Amino acid sequence: MPVFTEFASASRELRVLPSFAPPLPRCSPIPKTSDVEKYEVVIAGAGPAGLMLNLLLARYGLSDESLLCVDAKSTTLKSGQADGIQPRTLETLKSLGLADEILTEGCQMWQVAFWNPSNDKKKIIERTSIIPDVSVPARYPHEVTIHQGRIERILETDLHRYSKRGVQRNTKLNDVKIDEEGDPEFPVLCEIETEGHKRTVRTKYLVGADGAHSVVRRSMGLKLEGESLDHIWGVVDLIVDTDFPDIRRRCAIHSPAGSVMVIPRERIATGDYLTRLYVQVPGDVNPDNDDPEVSTGTNTPPTDARSRRSQVTEKTIFDNAAAAFKPYYIRPKKGGAVDWWAAYQIGQRVTDNFSVKDSKGEDRVFIAGDACHTHSPKAGQGMNVSMMDSYNLAWKLAYSIHGLTPSAANGKPDPILQTYHTERHTIAEQLIAFDRDFSSMFSGKIGPSEDGVGGLTHEEFMEVFSRGNGFTSGCGIEYPENMTVNRDSDAVNPISGNDYLSGLLRPGRRLLNVRLVRHADGYRRDLQDGKINAIVEYTTNPNKKLDFASTGRFRILCLTSTDLLNPQGVSAKTLTALGRAIRRFPLSVIEQVVIHPRMEREFMWNDIPSEIKQYSEMAFYSGYELDDVYETYGVNPSEGALAIVRPDGYVGIVASLPDVERVEKFLESLVRTV
């Protein structure tokens, strides 16, 4: 029986049970309360884009007094359609501590099977190949399919840890205008309505995450540009009964009777597994311009497409699917097996601008998610691009509002806010370009067409599919040069190679995850990980080793050279200089991660520069025992390299190991000094 003489400090429980991500420090004053309802940020819409933004801003430190998110719906999504989570989104959710339920309970989609017309007439179709669903390096080499409502529930549950109010539901945004005269600090005037009761609120920044029919977009006069496609597709979620062998793989089926895409879905409450089918409805129609907001450049009457869509029924979809699957049978498993179906015809359109400035040039109104871009659902991009829009915007807004940027510190319009449009509009344009190619080819036929004129070859289709993988996985995107992405070609580039998809350090691309071993304790870990639920003690621990968890911090990534054990070497000098640099910025905003290559001998802490233990005790790794980190990142171990990784995990700048000045200048342009 334990017999103890025991003592516990009063603060013990608070200390050992941390549960929250650390907020960013705040250098700007908190606005005084007033009679008018005022916020620093108002978010319209609580779909994946709005919830993600709300959660991130709340984690970064915006309280319920500063932040309001409204949504017209009374609860998270019930009957929406998005279902695909891409590898890069998984990485992001993991770095937020939100991936586990999705990985465990969703359907992990590892492979794609291609089925094409067979030369053997009796077989009708045959499997041409099975390839990995994700062909680029990624921490999670697969997609996950899972209901959008579940993603929203996961985000909202976590939000409630940081926000007492959470989303203000049953509340819609009716109108927005910029009114600087009334209150220049809170120039955005919103009319919102809760169950018939209207009120006016003012905000510094408004974000319209209010979907394809965005009120914010319309109120601000932003235009959706693009075209419609001439194909009508049916989509159905159901429990199937089939002898088709690949029903649990993602499949692209090009049969003589039409095209079908199979998307295996998660297991549902009945114990059954869902399947989603995209089924081409044969026959072309003229491009659709039945939405008055859309500039399509054509003048065909809208009735054609609309009436054809309305003729599509559950039976039409099934009859077409059944024909394309032949000789295999496919049918709903039993009565009630069909969960949801729809007929759609979607063009690729992008809004011309993702933000609107006030008269001083400060970006005041932003749009994100479906409000910015519409495209076909087949590539499974919608929910991903929407959440990543918010992931890109959140840290920029938070840094500006908290007075952490140089401009915000000086009360000037903040150019960092412009980079949201610069970066995400580029991605949206790539998205619709890919989607246009992919959708067109998917609707085409494989093999010679009946009139003898050549159709699409399997090889052509595969080429689009594989080339698109960097984009569709989210892992290959590269932001264009801007103040947060510096690819200055005059400076020495320590990276060899140019196959950036493989993981080479490259400004504008995400930092690829690597596996490494920690010096302090031998912990074998993923670099992208880090503890989320700990509050940094600003006064004494400026650089407490969060690695690459999404806690809103900038990280210096120092890949030392092999001269680390030489006190007069480049590595040692660089680490000393970096220590000086870190102390120039607000406490806890700049963190440092150090990786070393294989050395000629074993060493202990007292053999290496003291700055490593001081700033990176728990973020100091060997980079060769598990993955070859130097090889992956394209760094010569005898030279080393420096990089700054932005709060969202994208590389901002790469510099040679001695060039601390370059990374310091880059940081100075983005973060105020103290």
Sign of CA pseudo-dihedral 22, 23, 27, 29: negative
> Residue 363 to residues 45, 357, 415, 467: CA-CA distances in angstroms?
19, 4, 8, 35
SS3 for 486-535 is CCCCCCCCCECCCCHHHCCCCCCCECCCCEEEECCCCCEEECCCCCCCCC
> What is the nearest approach in angstroms of its own copies to the Cβ of residue 435?
13
List all residues 6 or more positions away from 241 whose beta carbon is below 8 Å from its beta carbon. Answer: 329, 330, 331, 332, 333, 334
- Please give the span between the terminal C-alpha atoms of the chain, in angstroms, as a whole number: 56
Nearer to its own copies (CB atom), residue 73 or residue 487 = 73
> What is the nearest approach in angstroms of its own copies to the Cβ of residue 261?
15
Nearer to its own copies (CB atom), residue 26 or residue 333 = 333
Nearer to its own copies (CB atom), residue 204 or residue 373 = 373
Identify the bridge partners of residue 333 per DSSP, sorted by sequence position: none
Say how many C-beta atoms besides its own lie within 10 A of residue 212's C-beta. 17
List all residues 6 or more positions away from 635 whose beta carbon is below 8 Å from its beta carbon. Answer: 494, 495, 505, 559, 629, 641
Say how many C-beta atoms besides its own lie within 10 A of residue 492's C-beta. 13
The label of the residue with tokens 């989303």 reads 167
> What is the nearest approach in angstroms of its own copies to the Cβ of residue 456?
25
Name the DSSP letter for residue 417.
Answer: G
Backbone angles phi, psi at 267, to 5 degrees: -70, 135
Q: Can you tell me whether residue 356 is helix, strand or coil?
A: strand
Nearer to its own copies (CB atom), residue 230 or residue 363 = 230
> Are 4 and 168 in contact, with CB atoms under 8 Å apart?
no
> What is the nearest approach in angstroms of its own copies to the Cβ of residue 228?
9
> What is the nearest approach in angstroms of its own copies to the Cβ of residue 354?
17
Nearer to its own copies (CB atom), residue 22 or residue 508 = 22
Instruction: Pinpoint the alpha helices (H) of 487-639.
Output: 570-582, 610-616, 629-633
> What is the nearest approach in angstroms of its own copies to the Cβ of residue 607?
10
> Residue 269 to residues 238, 336, 454: CA-CA distances in angstroms?
13, 14, 46
CB hemisphere CA count around 202 (13 angstroms) = 17
> What is the nearest approach in angstroms of its own copies to the Cβ of residue 666?
26
Identify the bridge partners of residue 113 per DSSP, sorted by sequence position: 130, 251
Nearer to its own copies (CB atom), residue 130 or residue 464 = 130
Q: With CA atoms as reference, report the closest residue to 364 among 182, 220, 200.
A: 220
Helix (H) or strand (E) holding 40: strand 38-44
Nearer to its own copies (CB atom), residue 154 or residue 644 = 154
> What is the nearest approach in angstroms of its own copies to the Cβ of residue 129?
12
Backbone angles phi, psi at 194, to 5 degrees: -115, 115
Identify the bridge partners of residue 171 per DSSP, sorted by sequence position: 194
Name the E strands within 195-257. 197-208, 224-227, 232-238, 240-242, 250-255
Distance CA(552)–CA(205), nearest Å, equals 19
Nearer to its own copies (CB atom), residue 454 or residue 522 = 522
> Are 421 and 409 in contact, with CB atoms under 8 Å apart?
no
Nearer to its own copies (CB atom), residue 142 or residue 254 = 142
Nearer to its own copies (CB atom), residue 452 or residue 522 = 522
Planar angle of CA 177, 180, 185, nearest 5 degrees: 110
Nearer to its own copies (CB atom), residue 101 or residue 193 = 101
Q: Which residues of 66-104 are buried (b: 16+ CB within 10 A; e: fewer)?
A: bbbbbbbbeebbeebbbbbbbbbbbbbbbbbbbbeebbe
Identify the bridge partners of residue 516 per DSSP, sorted by sequence position: 525
Backbone angles phi, psi at 371, to 5 degrees: -65, -25
> What is the nearest approach in angstroms of its own copies to the Cβ of residue 303?
13
Nearer to its own copies (CB atom), residue 328 or residue 500 = 328
Name the DSSP letter for residue 301.
Answer: -
Distance CA(670)–CA(554), nearest Å, equals 10
Nearer to its own copies (CB atom), residue 247 or residue 556 = 247
Nearer to its own copies (CB atom), residue 230 or residue 423 = 230
